[in-house]
Amino acid sequence: MIGEMLAVLLPILLIIGIIFMLLGSLGLLRFPDVYTRLHAGTKCTTFGSIFICVSIIIYGLYRWVADSDVNGSVIAFHTGIALVAILLTNPTGAHAIARAAHRSGVKPFGAVVDDLQGKDTAVEPKAAKKKTVGKKEAKK
């Protein structure tokens, strides 16, 4: 019973993941600038990875429970760790690339308003305030 459901569910999850991956690669080819390409690449590969990893985890757990195959639990555990790593590093890396592109002066294609333009994004140490000598202090 569960085997027949998994025979339908797992290919559906894999196909959804592959479609997300293909849409991400198409976005990398078609979008005009680094910001939209990053958006397409990170969103689609993250969602594609989620669906593919979930299908592998389900398959590994099924093999572990139904066939008493210890390797199924190892596959499920390692895939879960890889999924967590992808979920943490993919958006962080995209943010770092976008920030570096913005700081180096790459303009978004067709942008009307750049909210970050004109803001000083460099972190400067607070300058020590100079003491001004007033008339009263000068007389002492």
Interval 104-129: pLDDT, tens: 888 877 766 666 666 655 544 455 44
User: What is the DSSP secondary structure assignment for residue 136, as one 8-state letter?
Assistant: H
Q: What percent of the chain has pLDDT over 70?
A: 79
Interval 63-103: pLDDT, tens: 999 888 889 899 999 999 999 999 999 999 999 999 999 88
Interval 16-46: pLDDT, tens: 999 999 999 999 999 988 888 998 989 888 9
Nearest to 12 by CA among 67, 57, 52: 52
Contacts of 69 (CB under 8 A, 6+ apart): 63
pLDDT at 125: 47
Q: How far apart are CA 139 and CA 1, in angstroms?
A: 97
C-alpha distances in Å from residue 44, one per residue of 53, 82, 90, 106, 108: 14, 17, 11, 23, 20
Q: CB 108: neighbour CB atoms within 10 A?
A: 16
- Would you kindly state where each structural domain of the chain is located, as residue ranges? 2-108
